[in-house]
Structure 1
Amino acid sequence: MTMSENTRLGARIRAYRNMRHMTVRALATQAGASASFISQLERGQTSSSVGMLRRIASALGLTIADLFSEEDDVGHRVVRRAQRPELPTGPGARKFLISQRPLQNMEMYAGEFEPGSSTGDEPYTHGDAQEIFLVLRGRITLWLGPAGSAAAHVLEQGDSVEYRTSVPHRVVNENDETAEVLWVVSPPTPSA
């Protein structure tokens, strides 16, 4: 890569890191690199191996292709309901990505939970961002906190709750009708 290409790549990495409110040290830790290396890379003063770029992209919740995309101004991005990417979930539950990649300032998901379904038996966490959970239809129980001491929040249509993604959470539909929900996370959290 030329010095100019290194500079553009470094600027994109810095921009995505800043969007996620990550420090250089936090990105370095998640990518398995030194903070000085990440700093030099962001300033275009060094280049990187493909393996390291993959780890950096993963830590930022991106693909390696996102790091090289020159489409900073993508304009309006329409996602049709039938074209939403579906994420793996448990039986009776479906979760769809509404935001388009590369995730920039926020990520949004829609979910459907059939009666008796959940996000899984154990609460989960992802990064440390702000998350808003909204019930669009039906009734849901959202458990917040570590297993064994989590607080149950029963939410009906139109109810919402806000919490950090670092707090263990779990969604359960204990009712007899399908529920629809929405998650909004800002800044986007790293991919698992």
Structure 2
Amino acid sequence: MTAADEANGVPGASMLHVIGGKIRALRKDRGLTVERLGELSGVSTGIVSQVERGKANPSFSTLVQIAHGLGISIAQLIEEDGHRAPVVRRQERRRIDGHGIAENDGGVYELLTPDLNGALEATWVETPPGYDSSETPYRHNGEEFGLILSGAKDVYLDGVRHHLEAGDSIRYASTIPHWYVNSGDETCVAVWVITPPTW
């Protein structure tokens, strides 16, 4: 990569790492696998993987294709805006779908952290009366912390029930099989923090 290349808009090595990280975060935010992003963008899986890891030197047209696959403009992908703003406004929360969450399970999951590049992820969770995830227990590396803001929720850790109401909180190792039930008559609103990010 030469100075002339950078002057002509071709990303330098450090910028390629930034762009790769941004592509990876955006792909995960959208619930896409590397393979699916490759299909949507018309770029091979191998190239997408290399770009995400900052190992490739993609052409501008390849970046345009990947941006299209992510549903964003090329400007959003390559702009050097430093770090994402630390504040997430209520109306700007990103909805989380997929990634181990049962489709149409009735819950609402919104990301409270600006991205998934940090050491933790915080999620706004709303689960309606009758919500029950016992058929698909979660188990993964890391640790979780939950705080009930309103309503009530039963958190099961390896089959042991912990009943939480507004103001109650819980912390546990995510390696323990866990699931959630809302046996009350109102929607439970909670904030859940997971480290490291699982999405």
Q: Is the TM value for this pair above 0.5?
A: yes
Q: Deviations over 1:60-118 (max 9, x none)?
A: xxxx98997744433433322x3322223543321111112243232110111111013
Residue matched to 1:134 = 147
Q: How many equivalent pairs are there?
A: 145
Partner in structure 1 of residue 137 of structure 2: 123
Q: CA deviation at 1:160?
A: 1.1
Kept in 2: contact 1:13–1:67 (CA 8 A): no
- CA distance 1:121–1:76, shift in 2 (3 Å): same
| 1:79 maps onto 2:89 in alignment | yes
Measure how far apart 1:13 and its partner are: 8.3
Q: Which has the higher contact order (CA 8 A, sep 6+)?
A: 1
- CA separation of 1:97/1:5 partners in 2, compared to 1, >3 Å: closer, same or farther? same
Residue 153 (structure 1) shift: 0.8
Q: Which ranges in structure 2 are unaligned for 5 or more consecutive residues?
A: 3-10, 22-33, 35-45, 55-65, 68-75
Match for residue 125 of structure 2 among 111, 118, 132: 111
SS in 2 for 1:188: coil
User: Which residue pairs with 1:164 in the alignment?
Assistant: 173
Any stretches of 5+ residues in structure 1 without a counterpart? 15-30, 32-48, 58-63
Shift of 1:10: 5.7
Give the drift of 1:155.
0.8
Q: TM-score, normalised by structure 2?
A: 0.57
Q: 1:7 to 1:95 in 2, by over 3 A?
A: closer
Find the structure with the greater CA-based Rg. 2
What CA distance in whole angstroms lies between the structure 2 residues aligned with 1:92 and 1:131? 21
Q: 1:94 to 1:72 in 2, by over 3 A?
A: same
Deviation at 1:170, TM superposition (A): 0.8
Q: Distance in 2 between matches of 1:72 and 1:129?
A: 28
Identity level (%): 30
Structure 1: distance between partners of 2:77 and 2:171: 30
Q: CA RMSD in A?
A: 3.5
Q: Distance in 2 between the 1:54 and 1:167 partners?
A: 35
